[in-house]
Structures are given as C-alpha cells and as structure tokens.
Chain A
Amino acid sequence: MLKYTIGFLVGIVASLVLGWQFAGSLMFYEHESPYGLEETAARIQSNIKTLSHNGWALSGLRSPHKAVEAAGGTVLPVLLVEACSIKYSKPLLKDDNTRILSILMPCTIAVYKKDDGKIYIGLMNAGLVGYLFGSKVGSIMQGVADDQKIFIKFDDKKPAPPLIRTTPGGGKSGTEDTGGC
C-alpha cells in the first residue's frame, strides 16, 4: 500500500513540477522576427487588416517603454499591437458566464527587442486558454488562434507597410482602424 501511496504522491509532485516548468511556454509563445521593431508591428497590423472579413480591426498601438522613460528609466522598446474581432468578441460578451473574458480584449501581440539585439513577437496561446473555459469558449478561441497564425505570417515580397499609430481604444466599432471591440 505504502508503495502505491508513495508512487501516487511522487506522480502528483512530478506533474506539478512539470506543469510549473512548462506553463509559461504553453500559455504564451515567442517567435523571432526577421524585421525591425516598427516593420514587424506594421506587418502584423497589415495582416490583421486582411482579416477584416473575420471582424478584425486594429484597436491601438502602445509603447510601454515610453512610460518607463517618462518616469526616468530606460528599457528596451516594446510595441503592443492591439486588435479585436466582433466575430469572436460578441458571443463572449453576450453571455454573463463568459463576459469576464473581456479582460482578454483586445487581443494583444507584443513586438519587442531583447538583449541579443533581435526582435521577437510574443503571443498568447488563445486556443489553450480557451479550452480552460470549456468547449464553447474553446471553439471561439480556436478561431482566434487560427487567425493569430495569419497575423504573424509575413510575405517578404511585399514592401514594408507604414506603421499605423492608432490611439489605443479608439472607440469606434466594426472594422475601422481605430475600432475593434
């Protein structure tokens, strides 16, 4: 009996350790970008605009490093591309049980420089997060996850698009640049 109890406890501890170790990389993932900071963000914005048929629109662009600088510090730059889709947000916002998921809106894609001088793209694993809240939310978030893959699929042949410096939370609805959810 003792053998089984010890085995069971060791199994739980091992699962917890593994879960703790890999949770971060399961929830979020990171890609290296072949472009500079602004061009990466601009290409993501451009890709988002191609998905307007899925309700996607740009909601804003933030530069959190500037707030650090205003307070007298200096960190490497980060651009947060914000976008939202009414196709995916509406069913979540409609149901009282899932309205709390509005904290995930707008969808944010982080573009940042690291100490190796390279540019990276950080995304939330929308599919996995969705399934933590049941199959209904899971299927909606799977749609977001599929679109996210297109956000970061770059076409080298296209020239660098201009960065759209929209005001965060522009407030318009629908598919306009400053809109979203």
Chain B
Amino acid sequence: MKKYILFLMVFLWIIPSYAETTIDSTADHSKFEELDRVFTDATQITEACLSCHTESAKQIHKTTHWNWQYINPQTQQKLGKKNIFNNFCISPTSNYTFCASCHIGYGFKDESFDFSSQNNVDCLACHDTTATYKKLPGFSGHPLYEALTKNGKIIQPPDLTLIAKNVGKTSRATCGACHFYGGGGNAVKHGDLDSSLKDPNYALDVHMDKKGLDFNCAECHTSDNHNISGSRYNITAKDNKKAIIKGQKTNRTKSTCQACHSNNPHDTSRLNNHSKKIACQTCHIPTYARGGIQTKMTWDWSTAGKLDKSGKPITIKDSGGRNAYLSKKGDFSWDSYVIPEYRWFNGKVKFIEKKEKIDPTKTVSINKFYGSYDDGKSKIWPLKIFRGKQPYDKKYLHLLIPHTAGKDDSAFWGNYDWEKSFKFGADVSGVKYSGEYDFATTQMSWPITHMVAPKYDALDCKQCHRENSRLKNIKGVYMPAAHNIKWLDNIMTIIVLLTLGGVFIHGFIRLFLFYKRDKK
C-alpha cells in the first residue's frame, strides 16, 4: 500500500512540475505544430527543427563538434578526435560505434558516415532541457528506441516526443553529458570538469555556483553560428587586453578570464604585476577535482587482459570503491583535491601524429605544451598531466590504435586479444602494425580552467614563495624565497654571522670591563 501512495505522490508532483515550467524564451516549442506529433526516430526531430531553423545544420557542419576535425592555425596540424591520440581510451578510430555516443550526430559508425547530411545532425544532444535525453555507447550516436536490458537492469528509451517539445538553450547538464565524462567516465579526463559541476556550490566554482551567478557553460564559451569559443586545441594562453564591452565586435575569444575581468583585476599593483606572467587560473584554482569525485591520474594499458582462473574478467576496487583494475582497461589511479603541475605556456600545443616515430625509452608526450619565460607570450599555467602506458609498434616505433569496443571478434573488450585488436585498428586507421608490440610510457597535458575557488581561497604568497613550493619546476625566473642564488645566500650568511659575532664580542668586552672596574 505504501508503495502505491509513494508512486501517487511522485506522479502528482511530476505533472505540475512540467506545467509550472517557465519558458525563458520568446518561443514555446511545445506549441509548435511541427513538434506536435509522435517521434519514433531522432532524425525525424532534426527534420522538424530544420523546417524552422533552416541554417543551423549548415552551421553545425562547419564545427569541430560535428567534424571531429580541426586545423590548428598555429601549427597547421590536423587535430580533432578523428586524428589525435590520447592516453585514455587511445583513439575513437575503429571504435566509432561506441565513442559516437558523444558525437552530435546520428549513425557515426565508421569512416563512411555522411558528414554532409543535415538530418544526421543531433539537435537534442545540446538542446534538450528535460535531462532525460541520453545516448548510450554502442549505438553509433543514436538514442535507444527500445528498452534495453543491461547488467540485469532495464533501460528505457528516452521519450523523444516529450523531449522535442522541451528543447531550449544549452546548459551545464547538456554540455556536461559529454565533457564531464570524457575519457570513458565521470571525471576521467579533465579533472576540472565532472558531474559535480551540474549543481556546484560557491566553494567549487564561484561562477557556476547554483545559488549565486549560476553561469552556464555558454556564458564564457560563447557561440557564433554554432561555433563554440574556447577550444582546447587552440588555447589563448596570454590575453593581455582589456575586458570586452558587451556588444563590442571583436574576433577575440570571450572564454578567457580577461574578457570579463580585464588584465588588471586586482586592487594592488603588486598582484596586477603578477598577472603579467601568471595565468589567473594558477592562483585561483588551487586544486582541481574538488567536487567529491576523484579524477583519474594514471592509466596503465600494459596490464589489461588478465583473466581469473575460470577465464572471466577481473575487477579490483580501490579503497574508495572505484575501479583500480579492469581486465578491459588495465590499472588506474585516482585522486581528488589535486595540486596542479605548473609550466610556462604560450598557447602552442603540438600533438603527436599518427605514424610519428617515438622513442619508447623515454616518456612520450602526446601533446607538447610550448612556452618559456622570455618568449613574451607565455604565462605560468596549471596543468593536469595524465600519465600512462599505451601500446606502440616495436618495429615501426609509432603508437598503435587498438580496436577496443564492438561486438565483433576483434574487439579487445570482448576477446582480450591484443593481436586481433591491433590488426583491426591498423586496417581501419592505416597506422601499420608489424605484429610486434610493447607499451610505452606516455603523458598528456590538460590546462586547468574550471573549478575557480573563492578569492579568499586563492593561493597565498608563501604557497609559491618558499623552497620546494608548487612552482619548484618553473625555470628561467627568480622567485624570492623559492629560488636560491647560492653566492648571494653565502654573502648574506657571512654578514649575519659577522653582525652576531660583533654583538657578542662587544657584549663580552662590556661585561669584562664591568667586572674589572667592579673588582677595582
């Protein structure tokens, strides 16, 4: 009986909650004739959207979000998910059926995907406001159309008809549906982006604070014809211009701190001078992964594939209950409140390319961050440096692309056979596999820009200005109290010792003369 009462209470609460929703727009999509129908396929919704928003798919077709491809104007490198490696899941190439759950399109299962089709554009991935639209891995970017049973649980398909009538602006939840879960899970990749930012408090992020400014991602990552600013492929490391005035026409990205706060945001000139060489994030994001969710710090693929005595995959949990080992993926480590690593950074990043030769005896940088004290373009930036081991070809000396996900016989997550996995990956990607593989130590850097702490919790002086401080690896600049100039220290020590000696000798002479006079 109690169950029925509870159900009724929940049901009665849900209905008015939809009815009372205020529309923060001049258009109420639930009243649109085009959307007043039953949708059985997500592409039907796109068709309906495009009947009014005639240019949007054409705009989407020009974006990195759609093409998973980006030409870096600085380095001319062809980047984007389709082209680069990482040291998390390594590469979506040969795994699109799985990875395309985070593509803003429908049907991206292999290289034959039609990037020119307008109806393939997924409007709901970014514009759903019900928080019920989900795309599971393994369906080539389509949502479920029928109920699915997975691990004993029944997963219902999203109600496309309801979602279509409730489209609206993007939100932290829509952007976060992919960006919080990059690298294969919550908080895996970025460290400063995880699901705790859906409803953060002031301590976690002063801008996104749910009870305060309540910024959506789009407040900073502004969009121009669906092209979102603030790409990690082309980072503005040093924005030394004034704040952008609302309405001002400019080509500058608005997703820098200076775009709102200017380059002289502090009350004191000493701090403003610091900001000429130090990125705002360095002081104002003292630690990342502060939202109660640990971020993955290392991933060792070389241990993947171990099975138990009965031939079943193994799962080992760490003290916090997170996966520390999975047969599918290898060993991991996690951490929270992570103190960033700091580097000079001028905005130039060079990614390792497919077929590029590596030296497996050294740590391979998947993306190299450039910068120095004296290039005039660099600032000290906080980074998450993700470390791991991933496969490379012993003969050709380049990184390999494994085929991990899929229902076929070659997918590593099904058969735990690296040979088949690399052969399949090589056939699809064109990155040759000689038949001999090993695992190289790699690292990949990610700039930390979210989880901005309250100003009273920014770094204080002594967190940098002391020996072995956070900035101990920063070269080329003298930091008082942090760096020592040995000869200067020696001279000062001698001066102090001489002064002390002088005081003692003087005092001794005075006492000696006092007693001598007293005896007389």
Contacts and interface: CB of A to CB of B under 8 A. Distances in A.
> Is chain B found bound to chain A in the same assembly?
yes
Interface in B322-345: 324, 333-339
Contacts of A72: 201-203, 454
A11 interface: no
Contacts of A36: 318-319, 333-335
A162 B202 contact: no
A159 B470 CA distance: 31
Interface string A35-55: 011110111000000000000
Contact of A73 (B203, B287, B324): B203
Contacts of A116: 339, 468
A77 B336 contact: yes
A54 B320 CA distance: 27
Contacts of A113: 337
B123 interface: no
Contacts of A115: 339, 463, 469-470
Classify chain B's interface size. Answer: 20 to 34
Contacts of A71: 203
Contacts of B457: 73-75
A7 interface: no
A163 B96 CA distance: 37
B290 A160 contact: no
B470 A77 contact: no
Given A41-B319, A42-B319, A117 B338 contact: yes
User: For the complex, would chain B's binding face be called helix, strand, loop or mixed by DSSP majority?
Assistant: loop
A171 interface: no
User: For the complex, would chain A's binding face be called helix, strand, loop or mixed by DSSP majority?
Assistant: loop
A161 interface: yes
Contacts of B316: 159
Interface in A114-173: 115-117, 159-163
Contacts of A68: 203
Contacts, number: 64
Nearest to A6: B511
Nearest to A42: B319
Nearest to A43: B319
B347 interface: no
Interface string B105-137: 000000000000000000000000000000000
A43 B318 CA distance: 11
A27 interface: no
Contacts of B339: 115-117
A69 interface: yes
A10 interface: no
- Which of A42, A43, A74, A77 is most buried by chain B, counting CB atoms within 10 A of its CB? A74
B456 interface: yes
A163 B337 contact: no
A41 B336 CA distance: 15
Given A38-B320, A161-B319, A162-B321, A73 B470 contact: no
Contacts of A163: 319-321
Nearest to B286: A74
A80 to B, nearest CB: 16
Contact of A76 (B201, B287, B321, B468): B287
B49 interface: no
Contacts of B274: none
- Which of B203, B318, B319, B456 is most buried by chain A, counting CB atoms within 10 A of its CB? B319
Interface in B278-298: 286-287, 290
Contact of B318 (A65, A77, A117, A160): A160
Contacts of B321: 162-163
Nearest to B209: A72
A71 B334 CA distance: 26
A74 B319 contact: no
A70 B339 CA distance: 21
A160 B319 contact: yes
Nearest to B324: A160
Contacts of A74: 203-204, 286-287, 290, 453-454, 457
B318 A39 contact: yes
B252 interface: no
A116 to B, nearest CB: 7
Given A39-B319, A160-B324, A162-B319, A77 B337 contact: yes
A36 B204 CA distance: 22
Contacts of A160: 318-319, 324
- Which of A37, A65, A70 is most buried by chain B, counting CB atoms within 10 A of its CB? A37
B475 interface: no
A129 to B, nearest CB: 30
- Which of A65, A70, A72, A117 is most buried by chain B, counting CB atoms within 10 A of its CB? A72
Contacts of A162: 317, 319, 321
Contact of A38 (B290, B318, B454): B318
A113 B334 CA distance: 14
A161 B321 CA distance: 9
A163 B317 CA distance: 11
Given A39-B319, A74-B286, A69 B470 contact: no
Contacts of B335: 36
Q: What 10 pairs across the A-B complex have the smallest Cβ distances?
A: A42-B319, A39-B319, A38-B319, A117-B339, A38-B320, A69-B203, A163-B319, A74-B457, A72-B202, A160-B319
Given A39-B318, A74-B287, A160-B324, 15 more contacts: A36-B319, A36-B333, A41-B319, A68-B203, A69-B290, A70-B201, A72-B454, A73-B203, A74-B203, A74-B454, A74-B457, A75-B457, A115-B469, A117-B338, A163-B321
20 contacts: A36-B318, A36-B333, A36-B335, A37-B336, A38-B318, A38-B319, A39-B319, A42-B319, A69-B201, A74-B286, A74-B290, A75-B457, A76-B337, A77-B336, A77-B337, A115-B463, A116-B339, A117-B339, A160-B319, A162-B319
